[in-house]
Structure 1
Amino acid sequence: MKLVRFGAAGAEKPGLIDGNGDLRDLSRHIGDIAGEVLSPEGLATLAALDVFALPIINSDQRFGPCVAGTGKFICIGLNYSDHAREAGLHVPSEPIVFMKATSAICGPDDDLVIPRGATKTDWEVELGVVIGKTAKHVSKEDALEHVAGYCVLNDVSERAFQNERQGQWTKGKSCDTFGPTGPWLVTRDEIADPQNLSMWLTVNGEMMQSGSTQTMVFGVAELVSYLSDFMSLQPGDIISTGTPPGVGMGLSPQRYLKAGDVVELGIEGLGKQKQRCISYG
């Protein structure tokens, strides 16, 4: 299934995309794409619905973040070997973990607001993993059973805040609108292998990132298992799994986003996003 949330910011309704690409309303059946709805039992209940009996919605709706009720937004740094090389850093021996504020989460096509004082706002296409069942000390072999599905993420980063303000990555990752999520939450059963998905990102139509989840250092199952040893992973939590090469910081000369720029990105089978950059205020 391709699950979505549509409507005005803060008032989104749950829906899904049917086999013809039409938006259908789920609000008579569930309150939101969150909590127990993301569990194996909740997803099985949705899968059993007669999709074509659901109300069809006009196509000009705004898509909100594809999952609600996110308690933790966990990011993995330098998780693509080719991205680590472009950053001039060693491939890590264990996952590098940092947090992104959940207030950064926004819709996939919402404006990207360059924050006040920012000078180095950068882009990062990433595979998002949404937890569906609580995970605590799970094995790598069982880890994917705790995943509800996958989505496209843009881990927008203000590099000056990240690297020049006493080394706190979270400060450079958590500004409002720095977490475009969606358009769809694609349930796990539709993705045969999360480690074999092509991904791309353009700025003003110019290809900047073109990669594959094949080059992840730590795959999805390993990340879920690893993280579950340090914290319980709960339904709606998001793991942003790292980015391939081609970020602005890695270019020579470096290049960063400015007001008026348009960022587009996508991942095979998971849809695409488009953000227009605007200045704060």
Structure 2
Amino acid sequence: MKYARICYQGETLDVTVENNNDVRLKDGRLLKEADVEWLPPAMGNMFALGLNYADHAEELEFKAPTEPLVFIKSPTTYTGHLKNTWRPDHVDYMHYECELVAVMGKKARNVSQAEALSYVAGYTLCNDYAIRDYLENYYRPNLRVKNRDSTTPVGPYIITTDEVPDPSTLTLRTWINGELKQEGTTADMIFNVPYLIEYLSSFMTLQPGDMIATGTPKGLADVKPGDKVVVEMEGIGSLTNFIVTESEYFKKYGTNALGE
């Protein structure tokens, strides 16, 4: 089952998603993908992994970590499927990061790896854009790199765990303007989803709606205004968004418009 949050005719709705991303309303009506505004499907905290693929660590000329490198993204960074993401003016390099996201379904504290997946409601995708100009330390991405408003597309929906029996064997890809730029597999994660849930819940409580973004493999490229970026994952779906300039974004939406 796939479920999503949308805005339709000015109202925020929880809906189910069918083939071709058709949206089923609770009254039975079926809407096309382009007829609704897609919102991030979950709004909890996001725990994001740095260097969780060995080939990506090598790409950046770093040793693979021996303990998860985790940072937190606030909900103001999220945006939805088919929305715009802005590239800051006057920066040299901004890249995508296609990531599998595990969405927590119930409160988790001191959960073992053996039990971990029973705490997951489902999976979604995110594109964890990074502005490399401001990176001070690959091991601890600072706020200007990873926590800008509306620069982390999430969605389009959450697919329940019964439809993704093994999250550790999924192929992921990123496309820019129809050109394949990145391809990898979740089998190459250093720390898989059960390990990350055990690790995080050993010292804090994970809440329903919290998300764990599991990192990206090698194959990064700069994105420019005008680009259409699609991240996709086998068995889960694809997430599309569009790059615009900082000045264009805030001229259109204003400084208080988040999640556009």
Query: Aligned Cα RMSD in Å?
Result: 2.1
In the alignment, structure 1 residue 24 sits paired with structure 2 residue 24: yes
Secondary structure in 2 matching 1:141: helix
Residue matched to 2:182: 209
Q: 2-side partners of 1:138 and 1:78: how far apart? A: 24
Q: Deviations over 1:7-36 (max 9, x none)?
A: 26984311012368531114x7xxxxxxxx
Q: Percent identity?
A: 36
- Give the direction of change, closer, same or farther, for the CA distance of 1:9–1:129 in structure 2 (3 Å limit): farther
Residue matched to 1:63: 38
Residue matched to 1:88: 61
Residue matched to 2:7: 7
Secondary structure in 2 matching 1:183: strand
Q: 2-side partners of 1:95 and 1:196: how far apart? A: 20
Residue matched to 1:175: 148
**Matched ranges for 1:90-239 at <5 A:** 90-163=63-136, 168-239=141-212
Comparing both structures, which one devotes a greater share of its residues to strand?
A: 2
Residue matched to 2:230: 264
Per-residue deviation at 1:58? Answer: 4.1
Per-residue deviation at 1:56? Answer: 2.3
Q: Deviations over 1:95-119 (max 9, x none)?
A: 1111122211110221111124533
4+ aligned runs moved over 6 Å, structure 1: none
Q: What residue ranges of structure 2 are gaps of 5+ in the alignment?
A: 248-260
Q: 1-side partners of 2:20 and 2:178: how far apart? A: 28
Q: Which amino acid aligns with 2:219?
A: G
- Give the direction of change, closer, same or farther, for the CA distance of 1:199–1:108 in structure 2 (3 Å limit): same
In the alignment, structure 1 residue 78 sits paired with structure 2 residue 51: yes
Q: Deviations over 1:204-239 (max 9, x none)?
A: 222111011010001100001101112210001111
Q: 1-side partners of 2:137 and 2:115: how far apart? A: 40
Q: TM-score, normalised by structure 1?
A: 0.81
Q: TM-score, normalised by structure 2?
A: 0.88
- Give the direction of change, closer, same or farther, for the CA distance of 1:151–1:231 in structure 2 (3 Å limit): same
- Give the direction of change, closer, same or farther, for the CA distance of 1:10–1:191 in structure 2 (3 Å limit): farther
Q: 2-side partners of 1:155 and 1:62: how far apart? A: 20
Q: 2-side partners of 1:19 and 1:280: how far apart? A: 34
Q: Deviations over 1:173-217 (max 9, x none)?
A: 011222111111001111010001110001122211101101000
In the alignment, structure 1 residue 274 sits paired with structure 2 residue 247: no
Q: 2-side partners of 1:21 and 1:275: how far apart? A: 15
- Give the direction of change, closer, same or farther, for the CA distance of 1:8–1:90 in structure 2 (3 Å limit): farther
Q: 2-side partners of 1:272 and 1:21: how far apart? A: 10
Q: Confirm or deny: 8 A CA contact 1:115 1:175 kept in the other structure.
A: no
Q: What residue ranges of structure 1 are gaps of 5+ in the alignment?
A: 29-53, 249-255
| Number of aligned positions between the proteins | 245
